[in-house]
Amino acid sequence: MSPNQATDWSTWLDAEIDSIKSSDRWRSPRAFDANGPTGILNGQTVVSFASNDYLGLTSHSAVKAAARDAIDRWGSGSGASRLVVGSRPIHHELETHLASWRGTESAVLFPTGFAANLGLLATLGARGVVVHSDELNHASIIDGCRMARANGAEIVTYPHLDLETLAVHLESHSDARQVVVTDSVFSMDGDVAPIAQLAELCARYSALLVLDEAHAVLEPTPPPQLGGTTIVQVGTLSKTLGALGGFVAGPAAVIDLLVNRARTYIFTTAPSPADSAAALAAIGVLESTEGAALRERLRSSVDRVRLGHPSPIIPIVLGDESAALRASQELLECGLLVPAIRPPTVPVGSSRLRVALSAAHTDEQITALLDALSTLETDGGR
């Protein structure tokens, strides 16, 4: 019996792959042999402007040494979930320092920032709760909202940074427990949320404000209370801190509830001791005079590329997928790795180059980028 096309997996898979390829949205990972911004890609030496290692701490000697020491003491993995003897002293020490760094009562580690958003929003989201989410929030927030909806919460999406519409939504749900969740720095546009105004709105309606601080390397740390509202922070160890993992920092009651309810904490292996030790060492660097100098250098590099831009994420919107792919390839031929970002990561018609700057980039590398971008704009009319 020949399979029905509607039920045949092979036919469906081929059709899905063809659809992705025909729309110039096909992706595949590339092996980039690098330790820092410069490395080898397909036999070519290139400088990456694609990494979120904003302060260059993945290659910092103290960060690498801490990871090696942790492996020597505890091995390469944790061996279990946190509540089934997967916790090591380094996890607890890191959580203490994360809370201190973020200015909160407590903090809890997750395997990734993605898992942190899923765990937090699924825990907060329940029947009788309304979650308000910016339309350009990260995929982890979107998926966390989906989990909250499955738990009975209502999800309301408001237009990007549109506080007037958000206020209308909050007013119309004023009889419910409410959460407002937003990126602090948006990962594809590099723009920032107006935290003070959001906090004021949340205070007016007794809403909890959840901030995803993943990309907020140049932004000041928000206070635990602002404008009369409580702020819960979500962050990663993989960007500013150059390691791997995620965390939630906030009131002790929120953190205690996550330890007992968040499925992405309870039912997964604890972060590796090496990553946790690396992140702890990175916090030490970040809070030192060296850390201040790295941020100043990053700020200066951002201003060279786009004066006054608030973050190290600089989008160059080109429109359709083919234009972005073509521009990315032209830059690669110049020895510069700048990825083409296409739907569904960004809205249709807004495909772009995403330039991500790091304090590890040299002045000469920034100059090369500026020269190449200038040539792109001249040659392509972009």
Q: What is the DSSP string of 320-370?
A: SHHHHHHHHHHHHHTTEE-PEE-TTSS-TT-EEEEEE--TTS-HHHHHHHH
Q: Could you confirm whether 215 is annotated as catalytic?
A: yes
Q: Which residues partner with 157 through β-bridges? A: 133
Choose, from 132, 239, 309, 361, the residue flagged as catalytic. Answer: 239
Q: Could you confirm whether 239 is annotated as catalytic?
A: yes
Q: Residue 9 belongs to what H/E stretch?
A: helix 9-22
Q: Which residues partner with 187 through β-bridges? A: none
Spatial separation of the C-alpha atoms in residues 104 and 254, rounded to whole Å: 11
Spatial separation of the C-alpha atoms in residues 236 and 24, rounded to whole Å: 31
CA dihedral 356, 361, 366, 372 (to 10 degrees): -60
Q: Tell me which residue of 268, 270, 316, 261 sits closest to 122, measured CA to CA.
A: 261
What is the Cβ-side half-sphere exposure of residue 138, based on CA atoms within 13 angstroms?
28
Spatial separation of the C-alpha atoms in residues 129 and 110, rounded to whole Å: 24
Provide the 8-state DSSP code for 271. P
Choose, from 48, 140, 187, 311, the residue flagged as catalytic. Answer: 187
Q: How far is CA 143 from CA 35, 66, 181, 314, in A?
A: 32, 33, 12, 25
Cα angle, residue 181 at apex, residues 180 and 183 outer, rounded to 5°:
140
Choose, from 60, 91, 138, 215, the residue flagged as catalytic. Answer: 215
Q: Could you confirm whether 187 is annotated as catalytic?
A: yes
Backbone angles phi, psi at 114, to 5 degrees: -60, -50
User: What string of H, E and C letters represents the secondary structure of 68-84?
Assistant: HHHHHHHCCCCCCEHHH
Active-site residues: which are they?
187, 215, 239
